[in-house]
Structure 1
Amino acid sequence: MDGAQQQTRVLLAGASGTIGRAVMRALEESGHDVTAITRRDFAAKDGLAAACAAAKPATVISCIASRSGSPKDAEAVDFLGNLNLLKAAKAAGAQHFILLSAICVQKPRLAFQHAKIAFERALKASPIDHTIVRPTAFFKSLSGQVDRVAKGKPFMIFGDGNLTRCKPISDRDLARFIADCVTDPERRNTVLPIGGTGPAISLREQGELIFQIAGTEPRFKSISPRLFTGASRILSIGAPVSGWFAEKAEYARIAHYYATESMLLIDPETGEYSAEKTPEFGSDTLADHYRDMLKDRS
């Protein structure tokens, strides 16, 4: 189709975040008329309604997400924040709502996952066309130990380092995928799991890749995921009377989840994670990302 015919007015929520900024660039590169809204618009009374009414968007994209994953934050952002945005989008006459969700909601055990699922249900039930994008791990989420390795420290793994696998996707590739959803009619009223270029990689393989690029001998230190289970049980004792204990107990559950669950599509026929059935998109590789990070530290 002609590019000019595909240009449209887009309202983007969450443009200040890492993925949101990349989505903003991808939308602008595609020639769309983009209006970004901020957390202040969410906080102000009638802020969302006013922003949507002024922008008159055909499509609304939400990249907002709770920062901590705590039950209170998840309810306020992942569910209520998105729900209020959806109401404002409908009132402004938007025809399409694109949601950045997460692959982990297919096995919800955590507060933020339940909040995301609750909004997904509300979005599917609304009269607006929906596109729900569920990415696997981001490059950023797999980069926290690059500094450790660069400083000569061991790479931390859970168990033998092969408990989980993922197909991480770069900010740029994910942003292009989301931007493409604006004009692709085949992606409307769908749930789209998406990963980066394969193959799927384990935690140990991530460490081996960093050591290889750094040119140093691999060194690993193993932690048992059961430590998080024990911490969660202890902290949960105080949860009924203390918000602090409840929040910390949830953080321990989050840590255990990511230590033991793969970020891949679950095959509905087998109920198991499937690297083969997890869709891939883009051209950026985790190896190149690690090279860039280590180059910056040299």
Structure 2
Amino acid sequence: MANSPHRVLVLGATGTIGRATVRALAGRGCEVVALVRRRDITPQPDGVVLRIGSVTEPGSVARDGICGERFDAIVSCLASRTGVPRDAWAVDHRANLDALAAAQVAGIPHFVLLSAICVQKPLLAFQHAKLAFEAALTRSGLRWSIVRPTAFFKSLSGQVERVRAGKPYLMFGDGQLTACKPIGDDDLGAFIAGCLDDPAKWDRILPIGGPGQAITPKAQGEALFALLGRAPRYSRVPVALLDTIIAVLGVAGRVVPALAAKAELARIGRYYATESMLVLDPATGRYDADATPSTGSATLFDHYAQLIAGEAVDERGDHAVF
């Protein structure tokens, strides 16, 4: 760690990854200021300063967050809640662009961005929005670190209660269409915080997963049944069903705008059901588990055990397939 503590402005500090990142930064001795929409949020570590503002309001990051003060870095954990085009371009792109402009004017030298590994194969609006900002960041002249994590624990834990209630585990196809290296919030937060001091993480795109081997949805189901002491039961969902839903909603969305948003959500679900969250080899077009870096110690199956024991609670986002 550096001899003097960093002073860091954190955006997106109220999300699960944002909170973990704030904890990691504070644990490293950083002076943390978090720009939030309201003060009645989950308590932050001692010493963390909360400032009220809105990242989607032009100028708020500079006016309400930076306030003319010195900062060593901005860490952005911003992400649109739904991933539909309007939200994605407003948050993943424009809000980050406003923060980048504010950093340039204020002379903040380092911008750390939480992105996503799925932008390697962009088929969705939120992926294009993230890539557009990544490109702006790399051209900005600032030192930058772009962190692209694999699947989050909360995104893969939606069936714990379902299976505990005696229902079968749902999976697309044979449950082996995809694989990922899930990463826990605290492990990811520590990795993001580490970007401030590690020159090997500067001016680099950083794919990162959790510890251990890549796991498939079928392996996730097997582990869940084993933890519950039950024989595996599966219900297989054909990918073609999602294709039908997308097609119907796409046509209906031309008449009813709300259905167009639902069609995009269905496309997001299909993407995660058919694409692995691993490093993509551009030469072969295949996902490579061995090329996907790992960090931390917490595993998805540890998280399952904590959920079953009532020692953890998930805050699941709008992108969850199940």
TM-score relative to the length of structure 2: 0.89
Query: Any idea what SS the aligned residue of 1:157 has?
Result: strand
* CA–CA distance in structure 1, aligned partners of residues 35 and 25 of structure 2: 15
* CA–CA distance in structure 1, aligned partners of residues 4 and 227 of structure 2: 42
1:90-239 alignment runs, 5 A limit: 90-239=104-253
Task: Give the C-alpha shift of residue 54 in structure 1.
Answer: 4.0
Q: Is the 8 A contact 2:85 2:126 kept in 1?
A: yes
Which residue of the other structure, out of 3, 20, 24, is the alignment partner of 1:5? Answer: 3
Matched, 1:46 2:59: yes
Matched, 1:15 2:21: no
Task: Give the C-alpha shift of residue 6 in structure 1.
Answer: 4.9
Deviation per CA, 1:72-118: give whole Å up to 9, x if none: 10010001011111111111111010000000000000010010001
Alignment partner, residue 274 of structure 1: 288
* CA–CA distance in structure 2, aligned partners of residues 4 and 130 of structure 1: 17
Task: Give the C-alpha shift of residue 128 in structure 1.
Answer: 0.7
Matched, 1:33 2:31: yes
Matched AA of 2:275: E
Alignment partner, residue 77 of structure 1: 91
Task: Give the C-alpha shift of residue 273 in structure 1.
Answer: 0.2
Task: Give the C-alpha shift of residue 226 in structure 1.
Answer: 1.3
Alignment partner, residue 40 of structure 2: none
Matched AA of 1:243: P
* CA–CA distance in structure 1, aligned partners of residues 16 and 125 of structure 2: 22
* CA–CA distance in structure 1, aligned partners of residues 80 and 92 of structure 2: 6
* CA–CA distance in structure 1, aligned partners of residues 96 and 23 of structure 2: 22
Deviation per CA, 1:29-49: give whole Å up to 9, x if none: 000011001243324453211
* CA–CA distance in structure 2, aligned partners of residues 43 and 277 of structure 1: 36
Deviation per CA, 1:234-281: give whole Å up to 9, x if none: 111133343212101101111111110000001233221001110011
Q: Is the 8 A contact 1:53 1:92 kept in 2?
A: no
* CA–CA distance in structure 2, aligned partners of residues 30 and 103 of structure 1: 26
Q: Which moved more, 1:34-43 or 1:112-121?
A: 34-43
Alignment partner, residue 44 of structure 2: none
Deviation per CA, 1:102-137: give whole Å up to 9, x if none: 000000000100100010011111011110000000
Q: Is the 8 A contact 1:158 1:224 kept in 2?
A: yes
Q: Kindly tell me: are residues 185 and 43 of structure 1, through their superposed partners in 2, closer, same or farther at Cα, counting changes over 3 Å?
A: same
Which blocks of at least 5 consecutive residues in structure 2 are unaligned?
A: 38-52, 312-322
Which blocks of at least 5 consecutive residues in structure 1 are unaligned?
A: none
* CA–CA distance in structure 1, aligned partners of residues 154 and 84 of structure 2: 20
Matched AA of 1:101: S
Task: Give the C-alpha shift of residue 233 in structure 1.
Answer: 1.2
Q: Which moved more, 1:41-50 or 1:69-78?
A: 41-50
Q: Kindly tell me: are residues 95 and 183 of structure 1, through their superposed partners in 2, closer, same or farther at Cα, counting changes over 3 Å?
A: same
1:255-266 alignment runs, 5 A limit: 255-266=269-280
TM-score relative to the length of structure 1: 0.96
* CA–CA distance in structure 1, aligned partners of residues 293 and 196 of structure 2: 19
Quote the RMSD (CA, aligned, Å): 1.3
* CA–CA distance in structure 1, aligned partners of residues 26 and 93 of structure 2: 28
* CA–CA distance in structure 2, aligned partners of residues 121 and 44 of structure 1: 22
Task: Give the C-alpha shift of residue 4 in structure 1.
Answer: 5.4
Percent identity among equivalent residues?
A: 51
Higher helix share: 1
* CA–CA distance in structure 1, aligned partners of residues 100 and 253 of structure 2: 32
